[in-house]
Chains A and B, each alone.
Chain A
């Protein structure tokens, strides 16, 4: 094979690859995988940061961590072998629609809006970003017990996870790359509510 032919073939292959990549690029969202809601993982608080904020179990009870992922941590509150409740903290950066239900909230714990979901679940939105949830299991818990559990979380510590993180995000991402709904912080609502 002559030298020119080899170069020609090589450049042909290179051009074909380039064109192929450009054609496939718009379809990348069809490919399986990626994080939930396609949020870059760096923008989501890791679940390990939530673990120490869970309430300490009372005497006779046991707190068993069951799942820890990026933006999520869940534990099961047990008494003996029976599960009493699921306790979870999640970062709503991957599920912005979860925040909308708090708009109609009538009550609050430590100033953060509180919402009931069905007969066994109570949810709290901290710093307009982190959702804390208690779901009664087995025989169930009454609302007061669930609210007491929500209060026992380190809510101040959870709210404090926010500012350092967003400062870093703002630096790291140029304005053009940010999606409009991803960063809920700094809205007027957030700033007013803790004070109320």
Chain B
């Protein structure tokens, strides 16, 4: 049942809502975004050679590595999958609460769904937490000093520019507004362990988050978001990202959108897989870089 990382890469959609949304965000980032779904092309790009025998060797090594549990590549993918499921569920809950608020009979149900901003903030913190955990799974703790490690993180963030831009636009700016990062800490402060448990991905991630108990996990996530928000603030101002800009970029690929910014964020959360899509591509690249060096 478990597929190798490269098989997952080749099964990624070539053209669907997810790809169009990412293409839209790609227009905001210098260098743009390319939807890499061919393992052979990725290997040829890393090796700088299209010799079929070399590509075959790299591929065989990469499949061996992604099957080995201790190497962490497969574990990183399961983190991304868990978060992706949670994103769908949160999007669904928010659609339900929006629809429910408008229909008298369903008003009681709307009260059952949690306040959507808090839920969104918790969802974002889980994604950032998953990103940190996946980084250590895929890359280990590279270098001998803290300086090496943070340089490595910065380098990773540079590579994953579109991925981070998508995270910031879809999960922070669209649903929470342009002041999202400033609001984030306050919203997380209000979140309770119950809000955390409501997210299905939490159950799957809980074992991999350091600390024992929901309270400890929540404070780990808050600290993760705090350190991430510093970097994200610089990223937002260097690219001049705003919710409006994101909406316009998305309209360029998805077509006109009549609803509000929040509605677009909810819609994309419920119906696209941007996070796991770019996640598979990022892990596949690191895996191929390693396999190429080991053959």
Quick check: is A177 within 8 A (CB to CB) of the other chain?
no
**Which residues of chain B are within 8 angstroms of A35 by Cβ–Cβ distance?**
68, 70-71
- Mark out the residues of chain A between 94 and 108 whose CB falls within 8 Å of any chain B CB in the assembled complex: 94-95, 98
Q: Name B70's contact: one of A34, A86, A90, A98 (CB within 8 Å).
A: A34
Q: A32-B67, A32-B69 are in contact. Are A65 and B2 (CB under 8 A)?
A: no
Query: Which of B10-18, B44-52, B93-101, B111-119 contacts the other chain?
Result: B44-52
Residue of B nearest to A138 (CB): B48
Question: Closest Cβ of chain A: how far from B6's Cβ, in Å?
Answer: 15
Q: A36-B64, A66-B152, A68-B141 are in contact. Are A81 and B158 (CB under 8 A)?
A: yes
Residue contact B142 to A67, C-beta cutoff 8 Å? yes
- Chain B, interface size category, equals 35 or more
Q: Mark A109-127, 1 if CB is under 8 A from B, else 0.
A: 0000000011111000000
Q: A68-B142, A95-B295 are in contact. Are A117 and B49 (CB under 8 A)?
A: yes
Cα separation A118 to B61 with both chains bound (whole Å):
17
**Which residues of chain A are within 8 angstroms of B140 by Cβ–Cβ distance?**
47, 67-69
Question: Closest Cβ of chain B: how far from A74's Cβ, in Å?
Answer: 6
Quick check: is B54 within 8 A (CB to CB) of the other chain?
yes
Question: Closest Cβ of chain B: how far from A138's Cβ, in Å?
Answer: 9
**Which residues of chain B are within 8 angstroms of A67 by Cβ–Cβ distance?**
138-140, 142, 286, 289-290
Q: Mark A41-61, 1 if CB is under 8 A from B, else 0.
A: 100000110011000000000
Q: Mark B216-248, 1 if CB is under 8 A from A, else 0.
A: 000000000000000000000000000000000
Residue contact A65 to B148, C-beta cutoff 8 Å? yes
- Mark out the residues of chain A between 109 and 154 whose CB falls within 8 Å of any chain B CB in the assembled complex: 117-121, 131, 133, 135-137, 140
Residue of A nearest to B154 (CB): A64
Q: A33-B69, A36-B68, A118-B51 are in contact. Are A135 and B152 (CB under 8 A)?
A: no
Residue of A nearest to B74 (CB): A32
Residue of B nearest to A91 (CB): B294
Q: Name B69's contact: one of A34, A74, A76, A140 (CB within 8 Å).
A: A34
Residue of B nearest to A33 (CB): B69
Cα separation A159 to B49 with both chains bound (whole Å):
29
Cα separation A133 to B294 with both chains bound (whole Å):
8
Residue contact B49 to A86, C-beta cutoff 8 Å? no
Residue contact A65 to B142, C-beta cutoff 8 Å? yes
**Which residues of chain A are within 8 angstroms of B152 by Cβ–Cβ distance?**
64-66
**Which residues of chain A are within 8 angstroms of B54 by Cβ–Cβ distance?**
117-118
Quick check: is B143 within 8 A (CB to CB) of the other chain?
yes
| Chain B interface mostly | helix
Among B64, B143, B156, find the residue whose CB has the most chain A CB atoms closer than 10 A.
B143
Quick check: is A37 within 8 A (CB to CB) of the other chain?
yes
**Which residues of chain A are within 8 angstroms of B51 by Cβ–Cβ distance?**
118
Residue contact A121 to B292, C-beta cutoff 8 Å? yes
Question: Closest Cβ of chain B: how far from A54's Cβ, in Å?
Answer: 10
**Which residues of chain A are within 8 angstroms of B289 by Cβ–Cβ distance?**
66-67, 74, 86
Q: Name A74's contact: one of B48, B148, B293 (CB within 8 Å).
A: B293
**Which residues of chain A are within 8 angstroms of B46 by Cβ–Cβ distance?**
86, 135, 137
Residue of A nearest to B65 (CB): A36
- Mark out the residues of chain B between 125 and 156 whose CB falls within 8 Å of any chain A CB in the assembled complex: 138-144, 148, 151-152, 155-156
Cα separation A48 to B139 with both chains bound (whole Å):
12
Residue contact A137 to B48, C-beta cutoff 8 Å? yes
Residue of B nearest to A73 (CB): B142
Question: Closest Cβ of chain B: how far from A89's Cβ, in Å?
Answer: 8
Cα separation A52 to B295 with both chains bound (whole Å):
23
Please list 23 pairs of residues, one from A and one from B, whose beta carbons are closer than 8 Å in the complex, sorted by A's number: A32-B69, A36-B71, A37-B64, A48-B144, A51-B143, A51-B148, A52-B144, A65-B152, A66-B289, A67-B138, A68-B139, A69-B71, A69-B72, A86-B46, A95-B295, A117-B295, A118-B51, A121-B47, A121-B48, A121-B49, A121-B292, A135-B293, A136-B48
Given contacts A34-B69, A69-B72, A137-B46, 9 further A-B contacts (CB under 8 A): A35-B71, A48-B144, A66-B152, A67-B286, A67-B289, A67-B290, A68-B139, A117-B54, A136-B48
Top-10 shortest CB links A-B:
A118-B49, A33-B69, A120-B48, A88-B293, A65-B142, A65-B143, A68-B140, A68-B142, A64-B155, A36-B68
